[in-house]
Structure 1
Amino acid sequence: MPKLLFTKKLSKTDIKHRMAVPLDSLDAFQIPEGEHSKEFGVTDIHGERWRFRCRSRKTDRFPKPALSSGWMEFVKTRDLREGDEVTFSVMDMKGAEDLELGIQARKRIELFGQVFWSEPL
């Protein structure tokens, strides 16, 4: 059963350049000691596989992790916009060497002053 890693409301930077990852989730990405990035697999709710890269700063005491490679393709394919949200979950991958995450996105819809959320994408 998947374990919730984080849910994030997307900012302008998240949809135009790279997605900032909450610092308290960085350990889940298992970046090897002495390295500053790691590629990992993501499966969406439709079973489609994606590859993302999580990077952290090399010389800063605040690592500011972010998703780079692969992330913008996901944003464009799902037509995500500022205010939409994504949820990442750690999949049960006992014994697997590669980190495998689940992802789902929901679009924020404002109609007549009320906010609604789409079904997961």
Structure 2
Amino acid sequence: MPKHLFKKKLSKTDIEYRMAVPMKRLHAFQIPEGEHSKDFGVTDIHGKRWRFRCCTRKTDRYPKPVLSSGWIEFAKTRSLKVGDEVTFSVVDTKGAEDLELGIQARKKIKLFGEEIWTPPL
């Protein structure tokens, strides 16, 4: 059973450049000490596998983790916009080297003047 990691409403920066990760969830990405990034697998609800990279700042005492490589392609493929939402969950941790996350995205749309959320994408 997947364990909820975090949910995030997307900002302009999240969509166009990189997605900020909540600092309190950095531990889940298992970036080795002395390193500043780690690639990991992500599976969407359709079973498609993606590769994302979680990076931190090298010289700042506040690491400010972000998702870079792979994330923007996912966001564009799903046509995600500002205000849409993504949910990450931990699917498997086969060891310190293999992190597998699940991802779901939902879009906020207006229908007959009402804002509603789509089913997960």
Fold match (TM-score > 0.5): yes
Deviation of the 1:111 alpha carbon: 3.2
Aligned-residue Cα RMSD (Å) equals 1.2
Whether the 8 Å CA contact 2:40–2:53 is kept in 1: the answer is yes
Structure 2 counterpart of 1:28: 28
When the two structures are superposed, what TM-score results if normalisation uses the length of structure 2?
0.95
Whether the 8 Å CA contact 2:30–2:96 is kept in 1: the answer is no
When the two structures are superposed, what TM-score results if normalisation uses the length of structure 1?
0.95
Match status 1:97 vs 2:97: yes
Equivalent pairs counted in the alignment come to 121
- The 2-side partners of 1:79 and 1:10 are apart by 12
- The 1-side partners of 2:111 and 2:120 are apart by 18
- The 2-side partners of 1:27 and 1:52 are apart by 16
Q: Which runs of 5+ in 2 are unaligned?
A: none
Structure 2 counterpart of 1:72: 72
Instruction: Indicate the SS of the match to 1:27.
Output: helix
Q: Which runs of 5+ in 1 are unaligned?
A: none
Structure 2 counterpart of 1:39: 39
Structure 1 counterpart of 2:55: 55
Identity %: 77
Where in structure 1 do 4 or more consecutive aligned residues deviate above 4 Å?
Answer: none
Q: Alpha-carbon deviations, 1:74-120, whole Å to 9, x = none?
A: 01100000000000000133447310000000001123442200010
Instruction: Indicate the SS of the match to 2:26.
Output: helix
